[in-house]
Amino acid sequence: MAKDSGSRFSVITDGLPSQLPDIDPSETGEWLESLDAVIDEQGRGRARFLMLKLLERAREKAVGVPGLTSTDFINTIPPEREPWFPGDEHIERRIRAYVRWNAAIMVSRANRPEYGVGGHIATYASSAALYEVGFNHFFRGKDNLTGGPGGDSGDQVFIQGHASPGIYARAFLEGRLTAAQLDAFRREGEPGGLSSYPHPRLMPDFWEFPTVSMGLGPIHAIYQARFNRYLLNRRIKDTSGSRVWAFLGDGEMDEPESIGALGIAAREELDNLIFVVNCNLQRLDGPVRGNGKIMQELESLFRGAGWNVIKVVWGRDWDPLLAKDTDGVLVHRMNTTPDGQFQTYTTSSGAYIREHFFGADARLRRMVKDLSDDELRKLSRGGHDYRKLYAAYKAATEHAGQPTVILAHTIKGWTLGKDFEARNATHQMKKLSKADLKEFRDRLYLDIPDSELEGPLPPYFHPGPDSEEIQYMRERRAVLDGTLPRRVVRARPLPQPPESIFGDLRRGSGKQPVATTMAFVRLLKDLIKTKEMGARFVPVIPDEARTFGMDAMFPTAKIYSPHGQRYEAVDRELLLSYQESETGQMLHEGINEAGSMGSVVAAGTAYATHGVHMIPVYVFYSMFGFQRTGDQMWALGDQLGRGFLLGATAGRTTLNGEGLQHQDGHSLLLASTNPACVAYDPAFAFEVAHIVRDGLDRMYGERDEDVFYYLTVYNEPFPQPAEPAGADPAQILAGMYLFRPFAEAGLPVRPPAEAGSPEAGAPAAEPPRAQLLASGTGMRWALDAQELLANDFGVQADVWSVTSWNELRREALSCEEHNLLNPDSVERRPYVTRLLQGAPGPVIAVSDWMRAVPDQISRWIPQDYSSLGTDGYGRSDTRAALRRHFHVDAESITVATLEALTRHGAIKATVVEDAIHRYRLREA
């Protein structure tokens, strides 16, 4: 069946569905003729009025016509409304040419045969003007040279990851980077080597925000802007002069994270936020919307979400043509030409453009009859026009009450030559041939002789530190308070809370059952009241405050809302009523783990972004942490973020009724993959106290470390024991300590089962011994197993609390690395090896996590080692049934211990079979 391209066309042109078939063309013609008559006789204003009235009536009649959320495919700001451009456009064009050249040369040199480390040329080539207008006129630095509002926070600029070569090239011209450093692009083992993308952890004095994991830049920029207002409203830091700029790709906007939080930016009226979307119409492999119009689609999306939208579609050389377009035929042609065709026009000759774009209508042909083919080919996109961009940026910074998105039409690979520009393979092209180099040089009008382009390495270009271009760059950045990007740490260590704050948890709960989640929340409530750092805590909750017992904080800490509370709460008469406030301390993010992590990243890096320590405490369903937002946790580590992540309702069997999707048995394993994450699985409240105290000192005290803490806490209440006398906090923090040795357990000493009677005169057989290692809620099963082993089988077991399998492994690996590199020095033995050295009997490890978690330390255990865990999916049942199903309950631990003892000949094999029958393990 032939495709009827005339009756269906899937391009959003005005917010209305245009792909519906025309079932009565004659009637349609009559309506169009009527509209034409109104325009001809009474003008466009009257026609617009009548159309709006028709739309109103259509809504009244429930016709279902959507609101108009997109405008014509032309510049939002008409020429007559463009402001005066205050810069020297000639000098700025020269600077831009130098940056373009050096960015491309850096990537090309990095891909000579002996290295071949990759890199990207085309993204920055399309977006150079977008950045340069910002650097020269808008982006505020952190030096506060001009005494402007907001102090030394400056602007937060989220730079598109693939554009990093251009940012390095600009820093080279400014004298911040050397040619040797440019040559070490993507070779960080070299002195001063440059990271591939914006990575603060790798270049902590340069980059501020990691952005190359697509979609995280947009959502983190939104929550950064929101957190800036949070700091301002809570009177912690004046951020009134700070703006957040996020530079994004049109292909990147396909990521759910890119668009999922647009609503909060509009709802909270974040007019300190500006998105700049580089619409070069291409993804990595081809068009973003070949059959559609991505700029129109994004305009509809952002307008519908409540954003101010500014489109920069065409350069100034289109203005005379649009001025001639009295009947709208040119605008109609622009509206209905799909992006894939515009990409083709970019790579085509002027004659092709004349025939295929302008040739379809006699009025269009007349419009360009005085232009040569070469002039048609050079008609520019708005994203490469300084004056158009300046007008858009200025309008965005002056707009109040809404966030702004600037949609800038560009060409991917622009100026790089015919083999690069708008080609589908442009993103993967890493090197410039000699012919490409000469064409590129000529396009940029650079004074580089052919002889310098014939060698193996094309040269960088620098006009000299005293040239007018370099002086201009420095002057502009001085006016704007210093260079960017630049990461500065000005925060000073916070005074630590008094030791007494942790006393309640260390004393235990007596007979009162308390889950470790509740114990932590009680500690947090006390910490928030301290004068030392109480105001710096930022509780972050994804709509589960009541689940975690944090609703008790509503009346005191209150929930942050920039609009306060404009309603009477339905539970206002209750003690724990829901209370919002402009100065609220809690960030209640709704059902939104990604947004919650956005707030954590913004708060956890405020010490560098704004020079003030803030302490995010994010409490979430354990399963929906590392599994759902692990990419953001990786970005938190990259950005050198700090804070506490609490995986509440942890474990595979503790959250017993929720089943497969909620029960978490692997987050600790995922946490072990993040080098910045210090992960603990505490069993008792007193352990939580020591861990939190250490985290506060390590991240916010004199130790000043760039780590974040992850604690798993449980929702199973039981009487919390007091801290054992003589317990060593250093061992708790190191990851393992002896909690209840058999000798102190008060258990009977009896002959082992099936040991038989000793012969006359023979010494009594030593009772079998074993070591039980457990973490989290598994400690209670291990303690019960200790009793079963003693009472039923005469086995004496010691119980060790493993507060962190991950930290034990990390320390052991550091010992191995030291020994590898220092064979002549004294061998370092891992902490867990030293701790268990000489402990009698086999070692059995158990937790509410999959076996791979405790198995992390297996090779450093000097004894026979086996583990139990909750491998597999979770399921709904009682806690006891689940623990029997996974064979991690006390009876299963007992049998596993007996089985290990048979391998050592300490007991007979029949004992194991008897235990299985006694405890009915096969009936599970």
Taking the alpha carbons of 128, 416, 432, 290 in that order, is the dihedral positive or negative?
Answer: positive
pLDDT confidence of residue 157: 98
890: pLDDT strictly greater than 70: yes
Judged on CB neighbours under 10 Å (0-12, 13-18, 19+), 618 is buried
Per-residue pLDDT band at 414 (split at 50, 70, 90):
confident
70: pLDDT strictly greater than 70: yes
Taking the alpha carbons of 545, 547, 551, 557 in that order, is the dihedral positive or negative?
Answer: negative
Per-residue pLDDT band at 144 (split at 50, 70, 90):
confident
Asked if 664 contacts 622 with a C-beta cutoff of 8 angstroms, the reply is: yes
pLDDT confidence of residue 798: 98
Average pLDDT, the chain: 91
The pTM for the full model equals 0.91
Judged on CB neighbours under 10 Å (0-12, 13-18, 19+), 323 is exposed
Give the model confidence (pLDDT) of 96-105 as tens digits: 999 999 999 9
The angle at the Cα of 435, spanning 433 to 437, to the nearest 5 degrees, equals: 70
pLDDT confidence of residue 432: 78
Per-residue pLDDT band at 419 (split at 50, 70, 90):
low
Give the model confidence (pLDDT) of 846-857 as tens digits: 999 999 999 999
Per-residue pLDDT band at 13 (split at 50, 70, 90):
very low
Could you give the residue ranges of the DSSP H alpha helices within 592-706?
593-604, 606-609, 626-638, 667-671, 685-700
Give the model confidence (pLDDT) of 678-712 as tens digits: 999 999 999 999 999 999 999 999 999 999 999 99
At 622 the three-state DSSP class reads helix
421: pLDDT strictly greater than 70: no
DSSP state of 41: H
Per-residue pLDDT band at 176 (split at 50, 70, 90):
very high
Q: Please state, in angstroms and rounded to a whole number, the distance separating the CA atoms of residues 654 and 669.
A: 18
Q: Please state, in angstroms and rounded to a whole number, the distance separating the CA atoms of residues 921 and 873.
A: 20
Q: Please state, in angstroms and rounded to a whole number, the distance separating the CA atoms of residues 883 and 890.
A: 9
15: pLDDT strictly greater than 90: no
Q: Give, in order, the Cα–Cα distances in Å from 142 to each of 135, 152, 611.
A: 13, 5, 10
Mean pLDDT, rounded, for 450-473: 93
602: pLDDT strictly greater than 50: yes
pLDDT confidence of residue 277: 97
Which token pair is 674? 């993040």
Per-residue pLDDT band at 754 (split at 50, 70, 90):
low
Phi (first) and psi of residue 444, to 5 degrees = -95, -5
DSSP bridge partners of 647: 620, 712
Judged on CB neighbours under 10 Å (0-12, 13-18, 19+), 196 is buried
> Could you count the other beta carbons within 10 Å of the beta carbon of residue 724?
15
CA end-to-end span of the chain: 61
Per-residue pLDDT band at 9 (split at 50, 70, 90):
very low
413: pLDDT strictly greater than 80: no
Phi (first) and psi of residue 290, to 5 degrees = -60, -40
Per-residue pLDDT band at 575 (split at 50, 70, 90):
confident
Give the model confidence (pLDDT) of 54-63 as tens digits: 877 887 787 7
For every residue of 512-564, DSSP letters joined together read SEE-HHHHHHHHHHHHHT-TTTGGGEEEEESS-TTTTTGGGGHHHH-EE-TT-
163: pLDDT strictly greater than 90: yes
pLDDT confidence of residue 61: 81
Q: Please state, in angstroms and rounded to a whole number, the distance separating the CA atoms of residues 839 and 737.
A: 13
> Could you count the other beta carbons within 10 Å of the beta carbon of residue 147?
7
7: pLDDT strictly greater than 50: no
Residues in Cβ contact with 557 at an 8 Å cutoff, skipping those fewer than 6 apart: 528, 539, 584, 585, 586
719: closest CA among 893, 527, 507?
A: 507
pLDDT confidence of residue 285: 79
